[in-house]
């Protein structure tokens, strides 16, 4: 009897080991593909054999079989015949022993934040692939979601969040109005009177319609001022003595907004292939004061972009600033539209990253909540149309920290692809397959690689103790496991010309200046590493994937051993996500 009980105990342990190892080898990909890897059975049998060798305890006729159940668990059954000694006298020469076992991959409440590189290089194709990197990423993320959703048990909450990043992150519409400034400082320009008077030619402008149509847009009341969608294209030009003439085509809508009680009265005009001619004719002379542009830091009232109250979400819209046209006799108003990207709150140029003062480096403090009475703790809207690269022209130049007065037009950030704003970030939420598909299919590659801002905001949106602590808290007394998946396809690649999270860096000099002890690239990387450590302090598991790029020591250190992957093609990227999904699960014996 002792030998029989010992054999039964060891056989049960071997059966458990077999199905556990087989279920681990199966992973969660089977939920999405329906395919069972060929080595699953081999691995299960190997572990069974290691734990109960053929002939153990004098046993005979050992058997072990496994089956894949409808809920993707793996069940097993093992049998063996154990010989008797004393019982042989009574004609009982052996005792049959049989055990059953079953292993399942379960998920507890889980939050997954995916910080995804959507820089311009994601439109490229890896050498061994036939699709662009962004297309492959979309498919793999959908597959990852299917695996997790198919493996979870009733009552389990799995939430997904996304932070696409490039030159910046698009998080503005997730923030409360109290978290954004009333007045922001921008590298803009103002028209300044030089104190001189000049005699200039007066011109008469005559406009005539050639073709197409225009129609008034019905007046409405809205909480925000919509951005213009119209495009103007010059299709013909001519000139002669004392005159110029050109034809322009317009398509789209032009809006007019006047502030009302808690919002805007919106009207405008809709154009459909509307072509008009402009005739500019000399019409005598006149004396005018001479104005020039003074390029410098300009304070702009952006309070109209806030919601109805401090707790309301930031509503965005447009602000009107006199920075357009020629400086003499006075500039025209131009519209600057908020598209969701933000400038970081106050920080300083750090020389010792082992002793960072978070009371000053508020950009690296991922948990502190802004004080509406202290603008340094708040974020600012990115407004590319009113930000200029002082003192660069298309023909060249050099950055000038000091103000410059001139009639020249310097590079405007919005006109030269210097201010990429990725797709809006998505807060943690339970998402259906179609919701995930719609989101990732809308990701578009553009901009430069700034790893730090992706990690900072991935941490902010996932942290259980920060801006969204109430939403990110554990539910129903059940702990939540938190994972941040950071995917990039390239090394750090900032540009001094970019207008991004820290303004135009050589001019704004918030976290870096040309005289800093580190290069701009080093500054971005050191801030990334510091932010990664801050994220892990919140009991968040960080995974890092290098897709089509060599993993750097910085990225490896951030993830830690066993948590980073280098994927050179679509197959390896899929394998990396499969490994992460498998590691997130809780493998256990259920029978």
Per-residue model confidence as pLDDT tens digits over 418-436? 889 999 999 999 999 999 9
Nearest partner of 136 among 124, 119, 145, judged by Cα: 124
Out of 48-52, 121-125, 147-151, 444-448, which region has the weakest mean confidence (pLDDT)?
147-151
Assigned token pair, 412: 């405007």
Burial 282-310 (b: 16+ CB within 10 A, else e): eeeeeeeebbbbbbbebebebebbbbeee
Q: Is 28 strand, coil or helix?
A: coil
**Tens digit of pLDDT for each residue in 470-497?**
999 998 778 899 999 999 998 999 999 9
pLDDT score for 589: 63
Q: Is 332 exposed, middle or buried (0-12, 13-18, 19+ CB in 10 A)?
A: exposed
pLDDT on residue 200? 79
Instruction: Say yes or no to pLDDT of 79 above 70.
Output: yes
Question: Domains of the chain (ranges plus CATH)?
Answer: 2-106 (no CATH), 110-171+422-505+522-586 (3.40.50.410), 183-339+383-415 (no CATH)
Query: Which tokens hold the place of 447?
Result: 């901009």
**Above 80 in pLDDT, residue 101?**
yes
Determine the pLDDT at residue 590: 62
Closest CA to 489 of 163, 129, 166, 162: 166
What was the pLDDT predicted at 373? 96
pLDDT attached to residue 39: 82
Higher-confidence position of 215 and 73: 215
379 or 42: which leads in pLDDT: 379
pLDDT tens-digit profile of 167-200?
A: 999 999 999 999 999 999 999 999 998 888 888 7
Q: Say if residue 29's pLDDT is above 90.
A: no
Q: Hey, CA dihedral for 142, 144, 147, 148, is it positive or negative? A: negative
pLDDT band at 280 (very low <50, low <70, confident <90, very high): very high
pTM of this structure: 0.76
Check whether 377 has a pLDDT greater than 90.
yes
Alpha helices in 257-405 (DSSP H): none
Mean pLDDT of 512-517: 94
Mean pLDDT of 74-101: 84
Q: Is the pLDDT at 360 greater than 60, yes or no?
A: yes
**Given CA atoms 342, 343, 345, 348 in this order, what sign does their dihedral have?**
positive
Cβ–Cβ < 8 Å for 78, 17: no
**Tokens, residue 15:** 């059966």
Confidence at 92, pLDDT banded by 50, 70, 90: confident
Segment 391-428, tens digit of pLDDT: 999 889 999 999 999 989 999 988 877 889 999 999 99
Return the closest-CA partner of residue 296 out of 405, 149, 177, 142. Answer: 405
What are the tens digits of pLDDT across the range 201-238? 888 999 999 999 999 999 888 877 777 888 889 999 99
pLDDT the model gives residue 365: 97
pLDDT in tens, 305-343: 999 999 999 999 999 898 988 887 778 888 899 999 999
What DSSP character marks residue 113?
E
* CA–CA gap between residue 118 and residue 382 (Å, rounded): 19
* Range from 150-159, 256-265, 512-521 carrying the lowest mean pLDDT: 256-265
- The residue with greater pLDDT, 229 or 301, is 301
CA-wise closest residue to 20 among 38, 47, 2: 47
Percentage, residues of the chain above pLDDT 90: 68
What is residue 214's predicted lDDT score, i.e. its pLDDT?
95
| DSSP summary character for residue 364 | G
Q: CB-based contacts of 284: which residues, under 8 Å, 6+ apart?
A: 201, 202
Question: How high is the pLDDT of residue 247?
Answer: 95
Q: Looking at residues 78-101, what average pLDDT do you find?
A: 83
Beta strands in 455-510 (DSSP E): 481-488, 499-500, 503-504
Given a cut of 70, whether residue 579 has pLDDT beyond it is: yes
**Can you give the pLDDT at residue 588?**
61
Q: In the 8-state DSSP scheme, what is residue 53? A: -
% of the chain at pLDDT higher than 70: 95
CB 451 within 8 A of CB 167: no
Task: Classify 4 as helix, strand or coil.
Answer: helix
């Amino acid at each position: 009897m002792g030998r029989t009980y010992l054999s039964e105990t060891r056989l049960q342990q071997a059966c458990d080991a077999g199905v556990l190892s087989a279920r681990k080898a199966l992973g969660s990909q089977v939920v999405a593909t329906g395919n069972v890897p060929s080595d699953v059975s081999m691995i299960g049998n190997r572990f069974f054999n290691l734990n109960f060798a053929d002939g153990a305890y004098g046993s005979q006729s050992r058997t072990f079989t496994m089956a894949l159940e409808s809920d993707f668990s793996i069940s097993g059954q093992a049998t063996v015949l154990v010989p008797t000694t004393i019982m042989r006298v009574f004609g009982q020469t052996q005792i049959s022993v049989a055990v059953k076992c079953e292993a399942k991959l379960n998920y507890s409440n889980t939050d997954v934040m995916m910080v995804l590189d959507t820089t311009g290089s994601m439109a490229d194709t890896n050498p061994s692939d036939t699709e662009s990197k962004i297309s492959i990423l979309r498919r793999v993320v959908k597959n990852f979601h299917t695996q997790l959703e198919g493996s979870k048990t009733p009552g389990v909450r799995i939430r997904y969040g996304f932070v696409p990043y490039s030159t910046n992150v698009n998080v503005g519409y997730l923030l409360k109005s109290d978290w954004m400034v009333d007045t922001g400082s921008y590298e803009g320009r103002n028209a300044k009177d030089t104190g001189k008077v000049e005699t200039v030619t007066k011109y008469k402008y005559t406009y005539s319609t050639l073709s197409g149509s225009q129609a008034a847009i019905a007046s409405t009341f809205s909480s925000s001022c919509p951005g213009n969608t119209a495009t103007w294209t010059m299709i013909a030009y001519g000139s002669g003595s004392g005159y110029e003439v050109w034809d322009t085509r317009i398509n789209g809508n032009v809006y007019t907004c006047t502030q009302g009680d808690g919002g805007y009265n919106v009207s405008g005009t809709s154009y459909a292939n509307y072509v008009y001619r402009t005739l500019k004719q000399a019409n005598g002379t006149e004396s005018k004061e001479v104005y020039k542009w003074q390029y410098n830091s300009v304070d702009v009232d952006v309070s109209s972009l806030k919601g109805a109250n401090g707790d309301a979400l930031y509503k965005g819209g447009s602000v009107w600033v006199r920075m357009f046209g020629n400086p003499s006799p006075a500039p025209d108003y131009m519209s600057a539209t908020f598209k969701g990207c933000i400038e970081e709150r106050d920080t300083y140029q750090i020389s010792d990253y082992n002793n960072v003062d978070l009371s000053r480096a508020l950009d690296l403090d991922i948990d502190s909540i802004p004080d509406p009475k202290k603008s340094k703790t708040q974020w600012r809207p990115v407004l590319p149309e009113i930000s200029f690269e002082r003192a660069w022209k298309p023909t060249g130049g050099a950055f000038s920290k000091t103000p410059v007065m001139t009639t020249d037009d310097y590079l405007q950030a919005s006109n030269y692809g210097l201010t990429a704003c990725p797709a809006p970030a998505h807060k943690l939420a339970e998402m259906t397959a179609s919701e995930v598909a719609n989101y990732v299919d809308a990701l578009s590659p553009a901009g430069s690689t700034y790893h730090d801002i992706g990690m900072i905001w991935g941490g902010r949106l996932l942290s259980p103790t920060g801006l969204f602590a109430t939403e990110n808290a554990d539910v129903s007394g059940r702990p939540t496991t938190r994972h941040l998946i950071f995917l990039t396809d390239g090394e750090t690649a900032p540009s001094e010309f970019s207008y991004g999270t820290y303004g135009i860096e050589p001019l704004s000099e918030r976290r870096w200046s040309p005289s800093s002890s580190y290069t701009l690239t080093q500054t971005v990387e050191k801030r990334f590493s510091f932010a990664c450590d801050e994220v892990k302090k919140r009991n968040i598991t960080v995974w890092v994937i290098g897709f089509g790029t060599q993993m750097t020591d910085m990225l490896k250190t951030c993830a830690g051993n066993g948590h980073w992957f280098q994927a050179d093609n679509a197959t390896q990227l899929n394998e990396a996500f499969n490994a992460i999904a498998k590691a997130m699960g809780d493998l256990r014996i259920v029978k």
